[in-house]
A = this chain, B = another copy of it.
């Protein structure tokens, strides 16, 4: 069953099985629509709604003046229908009256220009006026609904930092200075050391001189930028914690969440995950990707890594979104496959944005469970079908996902690795991570995405792509994993800098030099579109290096160009494990081959033997396991498996055929 520890409130109150629901914004509709909504929710099997996310202006109609009537009615109607409420603190979008009254609460860009109200999230995360008002609203809502029978969970704010990740105003500068004083324990010399301010005459002589990295005429100090990124994530977290403290005080037993956004660069969810009772995530398909469904899986694997157990899919879209260049609708069956992929990868709740498509506003072309055209639509029929499917999967709730392999990723390394004035702008951390993930996906190997600080002993195989910044402790943890028998592969542009973004001198890849038994003296990044031949016939891209083995076996070398003969792939025996180094970027079949070898050598388990395009993931609970088989192809696919398909009710004996675009979830013994 879902996680829940002594320190944290339990899993959302009153929800069993796989929760199913959506964002619900009844304040945008006539009051009489609620009855119809509740009826249709019943038809679809909706068990929860997230309510009042953007309702500040509808609730606090003037400063301190509240209109609770409409929300009382909605809460009561939902309670009567047995629909649980993830109730928002309604602070995601201050109303015009607030911004007009407190113009200093508006966000200021690095260019010094104000970002005005008239959209959403129009506030500076450091604004004391905002925090004061948000805290009061949170208290008022918690006071009114803390004991309401519909209440299952609190939803603090919404997608923190989505549009206001960083503010450069004077108030933010003051907060930043406070954060720096705490980080450097009031020792300005330590800040100067960490930032390397002896470069370019940047030494700070008093705390007052410190400002956000506003626009400058040339490159900013990278230490300044890195601490700014850390501060911005922490400052948003501070805004979250301020509301949480109100809720904890007033309703200590009610669990609290806020919705994450997968690989959202400004917010370090590894730090945030420690502060929520339920990890919940929003995920939207990126239509321009060649295989958006694989990227979706990566998001699930990241969220599971954050949660360390079951998690909630808070939002995804029934069909098209509205914010991409061309917003592609989902093909028949695609939404159901998407939803079940999240479940396969650990989601115990499936939520949509949103219930009913708006006729107005900036999201009117975002798809919804009830489209503009009503219920006589493919979208609605699939919504109802999904509800039925999720009920058939109730027993899967609470099980864990089987993953023998992990991909290592941290936010501050991401921030640092993609800094300006670097060897190459072709370092795209998440894209590179995604290529590794894709190769594992094809191999039916599920990978957790975790920080090196996670418990690595669970894994047989760990891949560390572009972990540019790594602390000594993190490097030690990875070395320990190898010494204890693990298989580790580190790629190019890893271990280069320490936690202050200082290059580890003496040769790259600094922190991993001894572990890998290699020493690189110079980077030779490849321009976009330029490839380099390797000695085993594969092709390197984006990167090459001039280096040599210092103890490692050289398995592949660069075959041409200025670094011909230099190692491209090495293997080093350390303790009872193996440490591999890959000095270039591989992709496609070249990477598949390498992953296949690593999987086999390390004894990493595959969920199933599958045909290309079939996704296989296993969830396990006690003696039982659930094999998810998701067929993304246009052909029926047969997979060796035995057990009962929970979705169709059919029994597989040795093999199961999954129809084109279809999904099976087979209950098997856990040992299987």
> In the complex, are the beta carbons of B322 and A93 less than 8 A apart?
no
Inter-chain CA distance A362–B223, complex, in Å, is 9
Inter-chain CA distance A55–B90, complex, in Å, is 52
Q: Does A483 contact B (CB under 8 A)?
A: no
CB distance from A113 to the nearest CB of B (A): 5
Starting from the known contacts A54-B199, A200-B362, A373-B522, 19 additional A-B residue pairs (CB-CB under 8 Å) come to A25-B198, A57-B197, A58-B198, A97-B205, A97-B206, A112-B114, A117-B216, A118-B213, A118-B221, A119-B219, A199-B361, A218-B362, A288-B527, A319-B522, A320-B423, A322-B423, A326-B424, A327-B422, A359-B505
Could you list 5 A-B pairs, sorted by A, with CB under 8 Å? A120-B200, A162-B218, A331-B562, A359-B502, A373-B507
**What 1/0 flags go to A238-252 for Cβ under 8 Å of B?**
000000000000000
Write out the residue numbers on chain B whose beta carbons fall within 8 Å of the beta carbon of A323.
219, 421
Q: Does A7 contact B (CB under 8 A)?
A: no
> In the complex, are the beta carbons of B201 and A94 less than 8 A apart?
yes
- Count A-side interface residues using an 8 Å CB cutoff: 123
Inter-chain CA distance A361–B505, complex, in Å, is 14
CB distance from A116 to the nearest CB of B (A): 4
Residues of A within 8 A of B (CB): 25, 27-28, 54-58, 61-62, 90, 92-97, 99-100, 107, 111-122, 162-164, 195-206, 208-211, 213-224, 287-288, 319-320, 322-323, 325-329, 331-332, 357-365, 367, 371-374, 376-379, 420-426, 500-508, 519-528, 546, 561-562
- Given contacts A54-B199, A116-B214, A120-B201, A220 and B362 within 8 Å (CB-CB): yes
> In the complex, are the beta carbons of A522 and B371 less than 8 A apart?
yes
- Given contacts A121-B217, A426-B326, A93 and B371 within 8 Å (CB-CB): no
Q: Which residue on chain B has the smallest CB distance to residue A65?
A: B205
| Most chain B CB inside 10 Å of its own CB: which residue of A100, A224, A359 | A359
Stoichiometry (number of copies): 3
Write out the residue numbers on chain B whose beta carbons fall within 8 Å of the beta carbon of A546.
329, 378
| Most chain B CB inside 10 Å of its own CB: which residue of A55, A200, A331, A358 | A200
- Given contacts A95-B203, A361-B222, A216 and B115 within 8 Å (CB-CB): yes
Inter-chain CA distance A206–B203, complex, in Å, is 45
Q: Which residue on chain B has the smallest CB distance to residue A319?
A: B522
- Given contacts A196-B361, A326-B424, A360-B223, A203 and B57 within 8 Å (CB-CB): yes
Inter-chain CA distance A325–B80, complex, in Å, is 60
Write out the residue numbers on chain B whose beta carbons fall within 8 Å of the beta carbon of A422.
322, 327, 365
Interface residue SS majority, chain A: loop
| Most chain B CB inside 10 Å of its own CB: which residue of A208, A210, A211 | A211
For the complex of A and B, 9 pairs with smallest distance between CB atoms: A196-B360, A199-B361, A119-B216, A163-B217, A219-B362, A93-B201, A331-B562, A373-B521, A116-B214
Write out the residue numbers on chain B whose beta carbons fall within 8 Å of the beta carbon of A362.
199-200, 218-222, 420-421
| Most chain B CB inside 10 Å of its own CB: which residue of A27, A115, A528 | A115
Inter-chain CA distance A527–B371, complex, in Å, is 22
- Given contacts A113-B112, A373-B507, A202 and B523 within 8 Å (CB-CB): no
Write out the residue numbers on chain B whose beta carbons fall within 8 Å of the beta carbon of A359.
196, 502-505
Inter-chain CA distance A304–B566, complex, in Å, is 40
